[in-house]
Chain A
Amino acid sequence: MTGDLNRKIRKLRNNVMLSLTGVATLLVLLPLALILFYVVKEGVSAISPGFFVHLPEPPDVPGGGMANAIVGTLELLLVAVIVGVPLGIAAGIYVAEHGAEFLTKLVRFSADVLNGTPTIVTGLFIYGLVVLPMRKFSTLAGGLALAIILLPVVLRTTDEVLQTIPRSYREAALALGATRFRVLWDVVLRAARAGIMGGVLLAISRVAGETAPLLFTSFNNSYWSMWLDRPVASLTVQIFNYAIAPYDRWHAQAWAGALTLITMIIVINLGARAWLRWRTGRLA
């Protein structure tokens, strides 16, 4: 009798707990649905073609857009990619291909720790290192802050992709008398290129949404800025400034900016995944 009851209790507990895991999943996905819903709803009603071609306007003037901020974000990303991607790939090659045990472990570990460092701390670092000595906010400073955030992600991606390249490729090339540089350049990187590119794109989609490290490095700008040593507007900082300001018109612009930003990020992100699946056959 008690054994029977015991079994019933265990069955019941099994059903309840397993259903709860499903409930947890729904609860986790609910905020995502809500956020996307509001961004699309508020964003679509606030966005217009002018948003993409006009400069910001004061809160009492209708119209206005974030054209300079969109271009500014792209400029910052460009600086970050130029600095962060080659360094990240090179360091990734080192740990995957040439590492002496200790340094390899240390570099991998440091990359993970750097990846977890709050981005506002990275901003403070660049503030002390670049902004204060130059005595001004600049595109360069913002781009460098983003580069530091990009670097560890690119490093670990490169590391992982290189480890999937069969050892026999390298051995074959070495056996033909190729130098180590040639092995890497002509054989390994050629095989890993598509995977690394996909990883870099994923990393860019992450960095594109950063705000905190830009607040006091690239600062903001109401106008176009095409110089490395001038402050520059970015979508994220502009959204932040508009969101905390007390003007409805600016709030609407912030939603439009959020829609633009999130679309950009999802497109890059999905694009990178599709590319990876197509070129490497790996499920990304």
Chain B
Amino acid sequence: MSATASSLVRVEQAHWGDRVYSWALRLIAALVPLLIVAIGVELYRGSQPSRVAFGWHFLSSSAWDPVFGHFGAWPYIYGTLLTTVLALLIAAPLGVGTALFLAEMAPLWLRAPLGYLIELLAAVPSVVYGLWGIFVLAPWLQNSLEPWLTAHFGFLPFFQGAPYGVGFLAAGLILAVMTVPFIVGVAREVIAAVPVSQREAAYALSATHWDAIWDVVLPSARSGILGGIMLGMGRALGETMAVTMVIGNRPTVSASLLAPGYTLSSVIANELTEAMTQLHLSALREIGLVLFGITLVVNILARLFVWRVTRGIGKVI
């Protein structure tokens, strides 16, 4: 689609104004990839004291002591990964199920309003999710769900310890709600993109509607759905405010989901304006670098997956 009139008509001697104009546009467009490089360079430069002091050990160390100047990112990396995995375990099946309902099941008149409501989930600001998490979700977890989990599943390592309300579980749940719209958005598009003729072929072989979905639609949409899940993963990894407000902000590495934790993004949010030493500040910027690196890889993979299916016409979400 990007081939336009300009590629049809090659004007040998362009008007001088046109040359200025097209170079200006080219420069501005080139700014976008440059921005990504600049972000990486800036974070790398800013984390120099910390990188020199701790080296790769920074990633595996659990020390975080601003007073004595020992910094390690492991509890934050752990918290980010655990909450993200938890969120995706909940959001992926729900998201794909919802996408199937929207694309295959819902009556036509209901599809647009339902789709809008799902998009509204993505429009609710992170800080509002956090506010709700602190005052509604966390108390409910502490008084109802978590005691129930410890009573019935307390033998599992995931559900041990006192119910705090805030912790990995609360953060994972909030993240699940926040990532679901991204998964639904992409999954719905790729499911709708599966040709009707393929379904008809399945029906002709006496497949039920679900058989057609399971054996025909989902396999052809698989790579796009994976891309959508990875997009959601990118969101969950970098999400800051809601997580900061419900995770408890204590750097623990615990198998129990009920324990309070910390994430890469929340420690930046909480400590950057209070960092007193150069080393502390640079350690926080190195945390930012780690976060940027992880999300960069996830996002690139996600885009490759989605683009392969939608051939580059995928809309921004």
Interface of A: prevailing SS? helix
**Per-position 1/0 for B263-294, Cβ under 8 A of A:** 00100110011000000000011001001100
A side interface size, CB within 8 A: 101
Q: Give the residue name and chain of the B residue nearest to A209 (CB).
A: B125
Q: Do residues B123 and A157 form an inter-chain contact, with CB atoms below 8 A?
A: no
Q: Let me know if A48 is at the binding interface, CB within 8 A.
A: no
Chain A residues within an 8 Å CB radius of B26:
94, 98, 103
Residues of B within 8 A of A155 (CB): 32
Chain B residue with the shortest CB-CB distance to A160: B315
B43 contacts chain A at the CB level, 8 A cutoff = yes
- Among A28, A96, A129, A216, find the residue whose CB has the most chain B CB atoms closer than 10 A: A28
Which residues on the B side are within 8 Å of A114 (C-beta)?
A: 32, 35-36
Contact A180 B98 (CB under 8 A): no
- Knowing A94-B28, A128-B45, the reply to whether A11 touches B208 (Cβ < 8 A) is yes
Known: A22-B105, A167-B4. A32 touches B272 (CB 8 A): no
Say yes or no: is A21 at the interface (Cβ < 8 Å to chain B). Answer: yes
Bound Cα distance from A110 to B235, whole angstroms: 16
State the CA gap A167–B1 with chains docked (Å).
10
Chain B, 241-264, CB within 8 A of any chain A CB: 241, 245
Given A21-B104, A180-B18, A243-B134: A148 touches B35 (CB 8 Å cut-off):
yes
Q: Is B32 in contact with A107, judged by CB distance below 8 angstroms?
A: yes
Q: Which residues of A contact B228 (CB under 8 A)?
A: none
Chain B window 281-317, contacts with chain A (Cβ cutoff 8 Å), 1 for yes, 0 for no: 0001100100110011011101100000000101110
Q: Is the CB of A113 within 8 A of B296?
A: yes
CB–CB B273/A113 < 8 A: no
Interface segment, B9-17, B71-79, B142-150, B193-201?
Answer: B9-17
Chain B CB within 8 A of A176 CB: no
Q: Is the CB of A21 within 8 A of B211?
A: no
Interface stretch, picked from B52-60, B61-69, B111-119, B153-161, is B111-119
Q: Contact between A243 and B296 (Cβ–Cβ < 8 Å)?
A: no
Q: Whose C-beta in chain B lies nearest to the C-beta of A259?
A: B128
Known: A98-B6, A239-B131, A243-B130. A209 touches B38 (CB 8 A): no
Q: Given A115, A120, A171, which contacts B268 in the complex, CB threshold below 8 Å?
A: A120
Stretch at the interface among A49-57, A64-72, A250-258: A250-258
Which residue of A has the minimal Cβ distance to B131? A243
Contact with B along A1-45 (1 / 0, CB 8 A): 000000000110110011011111101110110110011001000
Binary flags per residue of B175-210, CB closer than 8 Å to A gives 1, else 0:
001001000100000000000000000000000111
- Name the prevailing secondary structure of the B interface residues: helix
Note all chain B residues with C-beta closer than 8 A to A212. 126, 240-241, 265, 269
Nearest-neighbour CB distance to chain B for A157, whole angstroms, equals 7
B109 at the interface (CB under 8 A from A): no
Residue of B with least CB distance to A15: B210
Known: A120-B288, A124-B43, A174-B5. A258 touches B101 (CB 8 A): no
Of A110, A116, A152, A171, the contact of B302 (CB 8 Å cutoff): A116
Minimum CB–CB distance from A110 to chain B (whole Å) comes to 4
Instruction: Give Cα A244 to B246, complex, Å.
Output: 10
* Closest B residue to A251 using CB positions: B135
C-alpha spacing A266/B241, complex, angstroms: 20
Chain B residues engaging chain A, CB cutoff 8 angstroms: 1-2, 4-6, 8-9, 11, 14-15, 17-18, 21-22, 24-26, 28-33, 35-36, 38-39, 42-43, 45-46, 93-98, 100-102, 104-106, 112, 114, 116-118, 120-121, 123-132, 134-136, 177, 180, 184, 208-211, 213-214, 231, 234-235, 237-241, 245, 265, 268-269, 272-273, 284-285, 288, 291-292, 295-296, 298-300, 302-303, 312, 314-316
Further contacts, 9 of them, CB under 8 A, given A24-B94, A24-B96, A103-B30: A25-B106, A112-B299, A116-B298, A128-B46, A152-B32, A167-B4, A211-B240, A212-B269, A240-B245
